[in-house]
Structure 1
């Protein structure tokens, strides 16, 4: 991608997310519930939920130096700060960073948070290295050429990078999804869901990778957000189905960690 094309892409992303997070912040920011504080502190490895598995891969995080790529609305930043991490959050959107800071204030964890507005990974907290580098639904918004090596270089020995990303490995599933007139508010024209080849390529500089797939039938929960028995049942079903390797290509989310051992 040329520098001019990259600049145009960044400009579109900034415009979109400035409006998105200003709108979301206007709805108000609530503190983490006791339930959420507990569920994300040390989730089990066999959890049925992708965000719980994401935080499982990070635990225990107390005292760790963590960089978050594209911090969004700040939910994961506040969870990490609540769990004792020193969280360094950056985002291309100033409205995102305002929301990250306000959510930390509401949750009484501001002392564990440092922020920066930038779209440049290498300029974010320049010169620092980290125990963990994380991003929830971040990579598919970012030009990934050369990023994996940069992430590896900014990890301390023994560190890890943890990501949760939308994936599309099935052309049939992709065609079906394109026919459904529903999209998340945060979708942008420039985002590109990852596939297994992208993840394998990203993992090349690292010593090892750990990953799990989520969301097949459980994508339907958006149509029934308050029917928790159904939501849980769909996630349980998906966990069992994903034990079959050939079914993982139909998953729509992959949570993975890549490790720098030395």
Structure 2
């Protein structure tokens, strides 16, 4: 597929250097896959990822879908039998190479995985019914990313993402103490980025996860984990009704609809 000839994107030398740093970091990560140290915290936001998975599964039915920042393409491959076509892009050619092998091994003829810059995709306008991703937007120039996602979506198409937030000072301190776990250019999303998300599409909805539930992490291997998560989820649900508190969340589930032009 080629992009529309009237669609032009230029990226500065600093932008291209940032993209190259991201590619090198993620190629190394996918070569070694050494993220176990951080995975222990994700029980605290399990509800977020379950809601994300359920929503993407629902919207993928008989649709042309794109996993944005797909890694090995696991979600695109899993959804391929349900979708009309399933595409995935990632900056890491290492991850894409492995994903293609998995697609071939599973005989998935409607899957296409490409190493591609998410800020300057080569798909034509109005290609997909659904664009989705997990933990990808905060690695990107969000203005470019939102513009590209909107461009490749058909009118009425949906964008669904889960992303970390950058307002909680305790989480910010942890990030500063573990710089090797992330790229130097990534930037957890701020309220201003959510305002841009809403402006880019004209119709958006966000749900927030992970504040007091983080207190359950030290108990993840004990019997106290389940009851503690149940209590803290209820507390978080109440706190996130308050506009000031929701921005202290760790993660958000973001959904937008591309509004048809009048």
Relative to the length of structure 1, the TM-score reads 0.77
Distance 1:235 1:12, change over 3 A: farther
Name the counterpart of 2:15: 6
Judge conservation of contact 2:212–2:235 (CA < 8 Å) in 1: no
How far apart are the structure 2 equivalents of 1:132 and 1:61? Answer: 7
Name the counterpart of 1:173: 170
Give per-residue Cα distances to partners, 1:150-191, cap 9 Å, x unaligned. Answer: 322221122111111010223x33554346x44684x11110
How far apart are the structure 2 equivalents of 1:217 and 1:78? Answer: 34
Distance 1:101 1:234, change over 3 A: farther
How far apart are the structure 1 equivalents of 2:72 and 2:217? Answer: 19
Q: Which of residues 83, 108, 113 in structure 2 aligns to 1:110?
A: 108
Distance 1:184 1:135, change over 3 A: farther
SS at match of 1:88: strand
Deviation of 1:105 (Å): 4.9
How far apart are the structure 1 equivalents of 2:171 and 2:217? Answer: 18
How far apart are the structure 1 equivalents of 2:30 and 2:211? Answer: 28
Name the counterpart of 1:34: none
Name the counterpart of 2:54: 56
Deviation of 1:132 (Å): 0.8
CA RMSD in angstroms comes to 3.1
Name the counterpart of 1:125: 123
How far apart are the structure 1 equivalents of 2:112 and 2:193? Answer: 30
Name the counterpart of 1:152: 150
Deviation of 1:219 (Å): 3.9
How many correspondences in the alignment?
A: 238
Deviation of 1:112 (Å): 3.2
Worse-matched range after superposition: 116-125 or 247-256: 116-125
SS at match of 1:169: coil
Q: Which of residues 245, 252, 255 in structure 2 aligns to 1:254?
A: 252
Worse-matched range after superposition: 47-56 or 65-74: 47-56
Deviation of 1:235 (Å): 6.1
Judge conservation of contact 1:148–1:202 (CA < 8 Å) in 2: yes
Q: Which of residues 1, 25, 33 in structure 2 aligns to 1:24?
A: 33
Give per-residue Cα distances to partners, 1:104-142, cap 9 Å, x unaligned. Answer: 456x36223111111144433345611011111000111
Give per-residue Cα distances to partners, 1:26-71, cap 9 Å, x unaligned. Answer: xxxxxxxxxxxxxxxxxxxxx9611221123331422110112111
Relative to the length of structure 2, the TM-score reads 0.77
Runs of 5+ consecutive residues of structure 1 not aligned to the other structure:
26-46
Name the counterpart of 2:64: 65
Distance 1:48 1:9, change over 3 A: closer
Name the counterpart of 1:197: 192
